[in-house]
Chains A and B, each alone.
Chain A
Amino acid sequence: MKYQYQDMKAYNLHLFKTDKFKTITIMINFRREIKKDEITIRSFIHLLLLLSSKKYQSGRILSSEAEGLYGPYIGANENRVGNFALTSFYMTMINEKYTEAGMNDKGMDFFKEIIFNPDVDGKGFNKKSFAIAKNEIKAKLKSVKDNPKYYSMVRMLEYMDPESPISYQSGYLEVLNSIDEKKVYDYYKSMLHSDLVDVFILGNIDFLDMKKLVADMVSINVIKKAKKDIYINHKNFVKRLKKAEDEENLSQAKLVVGCKIGNLTSFERKYVLPIYSGILGGPSYSKLFQSVREKNSLAYYIYSNYRRADNLLTISSGINKESYNKVLKLIKEEFNNMSKGNITEDELKRAKEDMISILQNIEDNPLNLINNYMWQFLYSLDDIKMRKDEINKVTINDVKNISKKIYLDTAYLLHGGDENETDKD
C-alpha cells in the first residue's frame, strides 16, 4: 500500500493506494478544542447533514439516490477524543470497475453534496430535518440510563473529575430548547471556517485525480493549526481510592474502577500501557478474567480499557451487588501483582500477540485502516510495521515500572438495591 500525506493548509490530505479492496473509502474529519457549552449544538451537525441536503431535500430522497449508486455505506459520528471534539463523515462505495463506469465520480459528488451543500433555507437548516434531529438527540440523551454499562462509566467519570472534559457527556438536555436551526447553521459555518480538517481516501485510486477531486470538494481556504494538545493531563492524583454508588432498578450491579495516569513517556504511552492493560484486563488470558471469572465465578465479563487521550485506565464488570467487596479486593490484588512484577513471560507474550493480531486484522478492512491512520496521525503513533517491531521490545520490567504512574482513583457501583429479583421466568 502506498501512502501520501500532504498539508494543504486548509486541510490535511491522506491518500492510500491499494488493490486489496474492491471498494473506495473516504472519510472527512472536523475537530476543534472541546467546549462544554458547544457539545449539544455540535451534535446536530453529523445528524443533520445525513438527513437531507440542498439537492436531496429529505431522508427518503437522499436514501433513494444512494441506492441508485449501488448502495454506498454512509455514516457519521460525533465523539470526544481527549481535549478535542471530533466529527467524522465516511463513505465506502464499490469501485466502478465492479459496477458501471462513472460511478466513482458520482459517488464522490454525492458525498460532497451531503457535507458541503447543506439543506439550508434562508438562514437556517431545513426546519423539518432540524425537528427530526432534535427528537433523535433528545431520545438519545434521555436514554443514557437504558444502557447500564455505558451509564455506569458516565457516572464514574463524573465522580472522578466533574470539571475535566473526561466527564463531558454527549450533550445536555437542559440546553436543547435554546438551540434552533439558525444557530446550528451558524455553528456549521464556524466549523468549516475554524475546525481542523482531515481527508482520508483509500482504495485503488489515482493520487493526482483524488487531489483534484478533494480540492474541488473541500472549498475551505483558511489556514489552520492545532493550538491544544489532544491529551488530557491530570493535575490531582488521590492517595486513597474514592468510592461512590447509585441505585437504579437493575438485576445486575455494574462496577467501574477508574485510574488516572500521569507522566508517561512516548514509548510507555504507545507500547507499555496497552500491554499493561492487556495483561491486567485484556481478553480471557488476562489476570482479572482469570481471577474474577474463571477462578471465582463472580462475573461474566470483566475487562480493562486504556483511554489513551484521556490518560485513564478503566475496569468494567457486571457483578452481584453482594460480591462488591470481594471483587474490589481481587482487582486490588491484581494491581498489586502488576506493581510487584508478578508477571510471567507467558502473560507478556499473550498480551503482545494480542496487540499484533489486532494490527493484522486492521489491515484487512478499509474503514479500520482509515481509522487506524487517523489515530496514528492524531496520536503521533508509529506506522503499523514499526509498531509490530516495537511491541516486542517491551519487557516485564517496563510493565512493572509503569505501575507507579497509574493511580487508583474511583470505584463506582451502580446497583439495584437490595430487593431486586435476580431471575425472570
Chain B
Amino acid sequence: MKQIKIKKTDDMLFYDTLDNGLQVFMVPKEKMNTTFVSLNVKYGAIHNEFTPSDDKKMAKVPNGIAHFLEHKMFEQENGVDPMMFYAEKGADVNAYTSLYNTAYHFSCSSHLNENLEYLLDFVQAPYFTDENIAKEKGIIEEEIKMYNDDPYSFLEEQIRFNAFLNHPIKYSIAGTVRDINSITKEHLYTCYNTFYQPSNMFLVISGKFDPETLLEVIKTNQNKKDFPKKGPIKLKKITEDNKVLKEYEEKVMNVEVPKISYGLKIPLKPIKIEPKKGTLYLAIMLDSLFGSTSTFNEEMKEKGYLLSKILIETFPTESHLLVTINADTEYADELLEAIKNRLLDLSISDEDFENKRKMFISNGIYIYEDVNSINRNITNDLILYNEYYPNIDDILNKLNKKEYEIFKNSIKISNTTTLIIKPKTSEGGYDVKS
C-alpha cells in the first residue's frame, strides 16, 4: 500500500490496487466519529453503446439503464434487503447514478468492517428477475415524473439535449418512461457483466478507521470471489460536430418566474492544457466573469435583470465541453444580451486571478474538514481525470497569467444554445433601473 501526505492539512492518503484490479483510496480521520465509504463504478448514463463482455459486436441499450441497474442492485437472491441490513447497523446506505458514474455508499459509526464487506457483497452479486424488474418500473416512473415537474431539472436536461447532436450525454439520466419500459433482465445482465468488473471500479473510504486493517478486510473479501478475466471495455467512439442541435428554444411551463439557460459548446481539441489545469483555469475564468465579485453580477442585480445567483455547470465529453449559464430573470432578452457581451472578452484582472487562486487553495482545507466532501472530492477526480490530485496546491501554485492567456485564446465560443422557460402569464413589475 502506498501513501501520500496531504501537505495542507497533515492528513494521509493511502492507496492500492488489488490483484483483481479494484482500486482503493483511504483517508483516515482519527478524530471523527463516522466513516464514509463509496464503491464506484466507472459506468454512467452516457455509456449506452459498447461491446458486451461476451460478444464481439457493438450493442445499444435503452437510455436510463445505468440508473435502473443501480436501483436493481438492491435486490438480493436470499431476499435480504440491503437497506434493512444497513438500517439495523445504524448505517445510512444509498446510491446514485450520474452521467459518468454509479456510486453505492454508506456512512456509519460502528460495524465498519461488516458494513464494508456487505457493500462489496451486494454490489458484486446481481440478481435480476422479470418480477423484480416489473416492480421497479412503477417506482422509477414516479421518479421521472417528479423530475419532470421540476423546472430546474428540465432546464438542465433540455439544454444538454439541445446542445448535442449524437452524444448520449444529451439524454436524461433516468431515461423516459418509454425507455425504462423497454428494459429487460437480459439488458441488465449485459450491462452488469460488462461494466461491474473490479478493474472498472474503485473504493473510497474516509473517516475513522485503521487503513491497514481495512485493506486486509477488503483483500480477504475479494480473494474469496472469482472474477472472470475480461478484456478492456470497448465503448462506441462518438463523433460529435461542433454545431448544436437547436440554437434557441422557448418553453412555457408551470412556473411563475422565468428562467434561462445559455449553453456554450466548446471544442476541446484546440485546448492544449492538461485537463485538471484546464478545469482550474476555467473555474477562475467563469467565477471572475460571473461570480459574486464580478461587475457583471453587480450591474445585473442593480438593473433588476438578475433575480438569483448565476449558476454555472460544466458537462465534459471526449470532444466537447458544455458550459451552461443559468439564472432566474424577468428580463431574459436583456440578460442574455449582457451575458453574450460579457463573453466577448475573456480577460480577467491580475487581482481576480490571484484572489480566486487563493480561494481554491483554502477550499482544499474546507474539503478536508468533512468525511463526505473528502470522499466526493476523490471520486470526482477519479471519474473526470482517472487520477486523484491530493495536493492540488502544487498545481494551483503553478498557474500563471501567461498560461491563462493561452488557455483563454483556445476557448472557442461560436456554438451556443439558448433555452428560456416562460410562465403562462407574466406580470413583471420588478424594480428596474433605467
Contact = CB atoms under 8 A, between A and B. Distances in A.
Q: Do A and B bind each other?
A: yes
Interface of A: 19-23, 58-60, 63-64, 67-68, 70-71, 73, 92, 94, 98-99, 128, 131-132, 134-136, 138-139, 142-148, 248-252, 283-285, 293-294, 297-301, 318-320, 346, 349-350, 353-354, 356-357, 360-361, 363-366, 422-425
Contacts of A58: 298
Given A20-B31, A135-B307, A424-B176, A353 B139 contact: no
The range of chain B's interface size is 35 or more
B177 A423 contact: yes
B410 interface: no
Contacts of B151: 146
A63 B356 CA distance: 11
Interface in B5-51: 8-9, 31-34
Given A59-B292, A70-B358, A139 B88 contact: no
Contacts of A297: 135-139
Contacts of B194: none
B256 interface: yes
A74 B57 CA distance: 54
A367 to B, nearest CB: 10
Interface string B320-353: 0000000010100000000000000000000000
Contacts, number: 190
Interface stretch (B96-104, B116-124, B364-372): B364-372
Contacts of B257: 139, 142-143, 146
Contact of B255 (A21, A143, A353): A143
B146 A128 contact: no
Interface string B396-434: 000000000000000000000000000000000111010
Contacts of B149: 148, 250-252
B197 interface: no
A412 B287 CA distance: 43
A320 B142 contact: yes
B211 to A, nearest CB: 18
B304 interface: yes
B90 A131 contact: no
A60 B292 contact: yes
Contacts of B429: 138
Given A20-B32, A60-B294, A146-B255, A283 B83 contact: yes
A143 B328 contact: yes
Interface string B78-116: 000101100111111000000000000001110000000
A171 B234 CA distance: 56
Task: Please name the 4 residue pairs, one residue from A and one from B, whose CB atoms are nearest each other, closest first.
Answer: A297-B138, A353-B90, A284-B83, A252-B145
A60 B295 contact: yes
A364 B107 CA distance: 12
B304 A131 contact: yes
16 contacts: A20-B32, A60-B293, A63-B291, A68-B358, A71-B362, A139-B307, A146-B151, A146-B257, A251-B145, A252-B148, A283-B92, A284-B83, A285-B84, A300-B139, A353-B88, A425-B176
Contacts of B8: 98
B302 A23 contact: no
